[in-house]
Structure 1
């Protein structure tokens, strides 16, 4: 007989923990299933020097401030430690080492959640909180299959030592791409950022305050209509104090238009020139890892991405999501923003049609 709870939360990173906190405040019996041995999500797998681009005072989950200097910018290990402390203080039913491999619907209309280890749980509500950063995206590039150099995704990168002194082309122009490029250049590598659009630097501070403070005070942080302002424009936005722009202006790393093709150990640039490259590093982002929902009709689109409206599935009553990029706003996939989305999703699921209401009526 499968265990039963009010809601099963898949994923024990920042999204899952924020959802568990919201469930407790609503009086819901929740179980969190986390594949790894600790509840920290993707954070332990990022590169060593990763630094948040929002200050600690704007990087906390609900109910627990981020420790240390509130105006400092936390690094990866500080976030991992924060999440571990948050999970311990939450006093929730968090089951690590439980990788979910399928979600199905029972004859009564509830969900059955199965794990790779054979465990099964049932619940009228499921929140897929594996976030937007669990599956590295590796785009198809002309000639990639013929490239004889080393191909890495930023998910594989940890520190500059193994690549020091080598010719590196980084595909992508977001914050991580720029941070890694500058770190490698400082270690003696010759580095180029290859992007389809120019880099777009955004000021880290405006009038003496961090940009994220202004985003919150103006409402742009959580306003759905702000997407064209914050995500639009020409080029990928990069938060910068001025140091990134100045370093790139020195020529190492440099930025060039996207190459036209790869050929053996050669890269052919847009101007027709060719050169030997030793390492191709794909800083091309991530996609939600939600393959376990493939058996639910209408849960995913044809590309395998979640179908949702503000984090709520329009096709599967009782199914929600947490931690997706632009799920409801600019802040949706951030430490500071996922809590509000989690509350919104659980509230909508509880009020929605189908097995959720039936289960609540049965408990009365």
Structure 2
């Protein structure tokens, strides 16, 4: 039997749960479809030592704050526990093990097909799968000939497999630096990137940088504002990352030009043997189930504005990087983006 709903939300990570909160507040009939067995998104897949780059009081979803010290920086496992507790507290109608294979616009409603053959119908769909299940690695010449290990940061868990190795970490963001510094305890590490790392103190004048961002309302800058601003990648440094460079435990170089069978070639032509390369190079939208609907451009990115599809009526997005504001795709931004989308949906 097919159940017809007001809204189907695809994905039960932070974006999907924030959307569920606002849908529930409007009394809409909805379900959340989650491919995994727990409403925690991709968080369990991230490296074990991961800590949020914002304190707990800036990392809560709407209606349910993180417990404990609000000034602490929650770990990966704390975020997982928080998301599960959040879903349980509000008793959202979540269907786990429901991997969405295809979304089909059908007149004034959508038919959503799961990989196991189930069919769900609703008048609106919110794609809240975000990006963190679709890692991006740039094409580098010679990669297919390289005899060492190549992986994305999503597959990195902890440093013990790299003891005594020569390791390159590619990237200039928070995760790249955090992983590189962690690896210096067991390996010889270089951070390779196209843009030098820009460090920002984590706690200027004794307050977390997110306090200042909130006070200055930088979080409220919309996508239009963001397009007019320079976009350097800033790494929030609690005092240990730049110190690793100063102590000589870690160095930074321009991105290598190609792989060889045994290593890489640097821009000056020098070839070096390397055991492993870890790409901390971000993610792309995880929206293959929308192919064929006209909702995506040629690169597979959604054609949308502020989370509202510009090509498919009744289709919405939450959890995209830069979707609406600077904080989009983060825990602290998911609730605000979801609120905007649900208000539009209700109208």
Q: TM-score range by the shorter chain?
A: over 0.9
Give me the CA root mean square deviation: 1.3
Partner of 2:85: helix, strand, or coil? helix
Distance 1:241 1:280 in 2: 26
Map of 2:131 onto structure 1: 132
Q: Matched residues in 2 for 1:92 and 1:232: separation?
A: 37
Counterpart of 1:162 in structure 2 is 161
Where do 1:65-144 residues align within 5 Å? 65-106=65-106, 108-144=107-143
Q: Secondary structure of 2:218's match?
A: coil
DSSP 3-state at the match of 1:136: coil
Please show how residues 207-286 of structure 1 align to structure 2 within 5 Å. 207-224=205-222, 226-227=225-226, 232-233=231-232, 236-286=233-283
- C-alpha offsets along residues 239-265 of structure 1, whole Å, 9 cap, x if unaligned? 112320111222222110011111111
* TM-fit CA distance, 1:206: 2.1
Q: How many residues align?
A: 346
Gaps of 5+ in 2: none
**Equivalent runs, 1:1-364 vs 2, <5 Å:** 1-106=1-106, 108-186=107-185, 188-224=186-222, 226-227=225-226, 232-233=231-232, 236-297=233-294, 299-351=295-347
Q: How far does the alpha carbon of each residue in 1:22-57 deviate from its partner, in whole angstroms, 9 at most, with x for none?
A: 101111111000000000001010000001010001
CA distance in 1 between partners of 2:19 and 2:201 (Å)? 32
Greater mean deviation of Cα atoms: 217-226 or 281-290: 217-226
Quote the Cα distance in structure 1 between the aligned partners of 2:81 and 2:14: 12
**CA distance, structure 2, for counterparts of residue 294 and residue 211 of structure 1:** 39
1:317 match: secondary structure: coil
Cα–Cα, structure 1 residues 45 and 230, in superposed 2: closer, same or farther, change >3 Å?
farther
Superposition TM-score, scaled by structure 2 size: 0.97
